[in-house]
């Protein structure tokens, strides 16, 4: 039975759905998919349109009703909202080192082949049918959720009344190598802006990297912090306020100790909190697969990174890139190392139907962040030009999570799909 509870000005209903692991084999193994349905207290009993929210990632659970996300507070005025934990995340059947431990590496990789956007869309269609029947619903896709939205428009457009995308227009024909060839220069640019704001932090970052190369420094969880993993702090540099977060970490990096300066526990704990994949293993395991269109990734970020020697010549922070060595160094990923190598060698089918997208009739509005660290502006605008009925909005006012932090983003997207704003 669904569990209903109340929060200030919200009524929330928790649902668990049974879905096939492989939607092409409905009689095969099953998983659970979790979603929270949220309605504003004053709207209980009203026949409202339903809005599905798909979170960024891959591998991140949906926002919770208590998240304080700006878009949610605004959407609840007019919609009944469904917060879907994409398969393998949050309270949906987990896909982690613990849940996958009983299987061989080949079995793990075969299992995770069913965790891309196409399966997420089919889960969403199953949930829609059980919650609202044949009525289409609206969709808000944040980051990777926008990638899923394009797959949704390719596979099941009849299920959608309107689509709003925030920082998540993928290249429809670009493979992972093209994605990373565009991503590394963006990472360089973000480094330049970061060190221009905090010029003293460049020397601190160099000192931290040297200290990590010269010493066996352990994080509070016990694993060693290496120079290359330290550079992965760039993962968060595309979010609003992230420059300040990294600066404040670096400002408390060193502390006097008996044998000389050491990296402080506060710094090491902060780095671990920013970098650990314990809560999001699919983020690392499946990230390159989201860019694969009829091919394998072959550890694309690692290969393409060798074309950018500036990352080896100085301490530059990398961005949304995952490397083979991470599956040796992060304890939450190490048991899945062989699975990760198999996934990198896996040829993946296309996620988008270009013919259907070029004939699309569902209203779509997408905000494209001009200086987005995670999604390439040029590739996003090329997609906007290919998808019929898609209206882009290019802005440099917000970070990648703008829809969550600024209520005006959702307002503008909603007006655009309604034809009330350009």
- Catalytic residue numbers read 143, 372, 400
Contact at 8 Å (CB) between 30 and 23? no
Which residue's structure tokens are 């330290």? 230
Distances (CA, A) of 71 to 78, 127, 141, 213, 363: 12, 22, 11, 43, 19
Residue from 360, 351, 411 nearest 170 by CA: 351
Round to whole Å and give the CA distance between 226 and 211: 9
Q: Which tokens hold the place of 416?
A: 């655009």
Contact at 8 Å (CB) between 138 and 79? yes
- What does the H/E/C string look like for 202-234? HHHHHHHHHHHHHCCCECCCCCECCHHHHHHHH
Number of Cβ within 10 Å of residue 188's Cβ equals 16
Residue from 326, 234, 321, 313 nearest 271 by CA: 234
Q: Which tokens hold the place of 396?
A: 């440099």
Terminal Cα-to-Cα distance of the chain (whole angstroms)? 44
Please give the order of strands across the beta sheet that includes 364-369: 3-7, 10-20, 30-40, 80-84, 50-54, 137-142, 160-166, 364-369, 390-395
Q: Identify any residues that bridge with 163 across adjacent strands, giving them in sequence order.
A: 139, 364
With a CB cutoff of 8 Å and minimum separation 6, the contacts of 154 are 351, 352, 353, 356, 357
b/e 295-313 (16+ beta carbons within 10 angstroms → b): bbbebbbbebbeebeebee
Please spell the DSSP secondary structure of 246-293, one letter per residue.
HHHHHHT-EE--TTS-EE-HHHHHHHHHHH--TT-HHHHHSTGGGG-S
What is the helix (H) or strand (E) element at residue 365, kind and residue range?
Answer: strand 364-369
CA torsion 6-412-48-71 (nearest 10°) is -20
């Amino acid at each position: 039975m669904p569990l209903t509870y109340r929060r200030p000005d919200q009524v929330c209903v928790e649902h668990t759905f049974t879905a096939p692991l492989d939607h092409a084999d409905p009689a095969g193994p099953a998983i659970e998919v979790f979603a929270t349905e949220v309605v504003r207290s004053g709207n209980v009993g009203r026949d409202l349109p339903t809005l599905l929210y798909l979170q960024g990632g891959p591998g991140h659970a949906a926002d919770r009703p208590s998240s304080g996300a700006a878009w949610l507070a605004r959407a609840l005025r007019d919609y009944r909202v469904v917060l879907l934990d994409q398969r393998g995340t949050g309270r949906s059947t987990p896909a982690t080192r613990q849940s996958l431990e009983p299987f061989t590496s080949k079995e793990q990789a075969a299992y995770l082949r069913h965790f891309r956007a196409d399966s997420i869309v089919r889960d969403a269609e199953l949930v829609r049918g059980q919650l609202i029947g044949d009525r289409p619903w609206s969709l808000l896709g944040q980051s990777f959720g926008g990638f899923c939205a394009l797959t949704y428009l390719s596979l099941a457009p009849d299920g959608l009344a309107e689509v709003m995308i925030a920082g998540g227009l993928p290249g429809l024909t670009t493979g992972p190598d093209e994605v990373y060839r565009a991503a590394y220069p963006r990472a360089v640019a973000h480094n330049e802006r970061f060190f221009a704001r905090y010029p003293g932090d460049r020397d601190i970052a160099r000192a931290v990297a040297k200290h990590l190369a010269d010493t066996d420094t352990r994080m509070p969880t016990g694993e060693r912090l290496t120079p290359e993993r330290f550079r992965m702090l760039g993962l968060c540099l595309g979010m609003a306020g992230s420059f300040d977060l990294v600066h404040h970490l670096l400002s408390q990096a060193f502390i006097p100790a008996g044998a000389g300066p050491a990296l402080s526990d506060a710094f090491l704990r902060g780095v671990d909190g920013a970098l650990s994949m314990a809560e999001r293993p699919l983020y690392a395991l499946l990230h390159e697969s989201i860019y694969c269109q009829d091919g394998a990734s072959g550890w694309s970020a690692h290969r393409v990174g060798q074309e950018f020697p500036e990352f080896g010549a100085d301490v530059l922070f990398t961005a949304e890139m995952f490397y083979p060595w991470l599956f040796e160094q992060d304890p939450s990923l190490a048991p899945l190392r062989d699975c990760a190598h198999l996934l990198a060698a896996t040829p993946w089918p296309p996620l988008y139907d270009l013919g259907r997208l070029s004939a699309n009739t569902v209203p779509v509005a997408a905000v494209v962040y001009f200086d987005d660290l995670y999604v390439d502006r040029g590739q996003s605008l090329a997609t906007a030009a290919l998808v019929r009925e898609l209206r882009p909005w290019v802005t440099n006012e917000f970070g990648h999570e703008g829809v969550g932090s600024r209520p005006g983003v959702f307002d503008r997207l909603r007006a655009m799909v309604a034809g009330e704003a350009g």
